[in-house]
A and B are shown apart, each in its own frame.
Chain A
Amino acid sequence: MARDQIVNGVRIELTAEEEAALEAQEAAWLKDNPVPSDLQLSLDNLRLKRNGLLAETDWWGASDNTMTDAQKKYRQDLRDLTTGLDTVDKVNNVVFPTKP
């Protein structure tokens, strides 16, 4: 089925040339930016949350502060959070470490 675009609210079918150009452009995009797998998307989401938690405690590493062992472990556990996660189920069931 031919693709279209909507111009000022009016649906207009693409010409064969326009559609071919669009498909080529999209194929080039997808070659460099493949649609991620569900596992990759879940991991991306997890990393966003993990990175936010790490950022919250970045100040612990300031030169005028000495991190406790519990703080060091918390941050290391966050960094290691994605280790061994090879299924969406595992990602969805990750337990975040408790902030000391």
Chain B
Amino acid sequence: MALNTLPAGAFADDAITSDKINLANTFAFTGTVTGTPQDMVLLSSVDSHTSPTSAVVFNSSVVDSTTYRSFLITGSNIYSVTNAQGLRFYTSHDNGSNFNNDNKRGQVYRNLYSGSSFGHEQQTVSSSGYCNIGGSMSSSNNLGGSMTLWVHGSSKSFWKYILYQIATRHSGGEAYNWNGAFEQQNSNAYNYFKLTADSGNIGGFFYLYGLKGSA
């Protein structure tokens, strides 16, 4: 008779350890795995530091607003190959066929070297399909900046409010930090994000994460 049930207490709780299981095997779990949170998932990563590119794109293959309620984009060692170019962020709800307009952006900036240099600025962009996040970047690839950008409620049929923080070497020579947000008067679910420089290629390391949520 085949044995398919182990009697209770047949093994001590710690009897089976990782060196008793063939870890090279594939185990086809059909149930629900619990205890390993998958609420924040790395969806895509990009290395354009050594070989800069014209655009860093995350399309509908990874930007799935029905699965993820929020998206986080991080970047490090970001620089523009052409000096003094701004960083652009585009969103789309039709996989890049059209970009979302009606952007209203506000940001504050401060010099990391001199506490007296700070300010704020507002901008309305109604037709170009992107928002500039941060200020003009240095072209020094060993002085590249860091960024964090959040897109919340990307599946919701409400306007979107996108939050970002960037610190980078300013083309003028010193380092700056920009904190900002922009409003996109768009009620569609997003499925495409793109980062570029104003002109020329962009270098850096970029990561897209998705955060799940039931609501």
- Which residues of A come within 8 Å of B, CB atoms? 3-9, 11, 14, 22, 26, 29-30, 33, 35-36, 41-42, 44-46, 48-49, 51-53, 55-56
Contact = CB atoms under 8 A, between A and B. Distances in A.
B55 interface: yes
Contacts of A45: 170, 172-174
A4 B54 contact: yes
Contacts of B119: 48, 51-52, 55
A26 B18 CA distance: 56
Given A3-B54, A5-B55, A41-B84, A49 B111 contact: yes
Given A7-B57, A8-B57, A45-B174, 6 more contacts: A3-B53, A5-B56, A9-B46, A46-B172, A53-B116, A56-B116
Contact of A5 (B57, B82, B174, B200): B57
Say whether chain A's binding surface is mostly helix, strand, loop, or mixed: helix
Nearest to B139: A35
Nearest to A41: B172
Contact of B57 (A3, A6, A33, A36): A6
A35 B173 contact: no
A8 B84 contact: no
Contact of A8 (B58, B171, B172, B173): B58
A6 B174 contact: no
Contact of A35 (B51, B58, B84): B84
A6 B58 CA distance: 8
Given A36-B84, A45-B173, A6 B111 contact: no
B61 interface: yes
A52 B114 contact: yes
Contact of B53 (A4, A30, A48, A56): A4
B77 interface: no
6 contacts: A5-B55, A8-B59, A35-B82, A45-B172, A52-B116, A53-B116
B84 A6 contact: no
Contacts of A56: 116
A6 B53 contact: yes
B117 A52 contact: yes
Interface string B94-118: 0000000000000000010010111
B201 A3 contact: yes
Contact of B117 (A22, A36, A48): A48
A96 to B, nearest CB: 9
Nearest to B172: A45
Q: Which one of B119, B172, B199 has the highest number of Cβ atoms from chain A below 10 Å of its Cβ?
A: B172
Closest 5 CB pairs of A and B: A45-B172, A52-B117, A26-B199, A5-B55, A52-B116
B46 to A, nearest CB: 5
A22 B194 CA distance: 14
Contact of B46 (A6, A14, A36, A44): A6
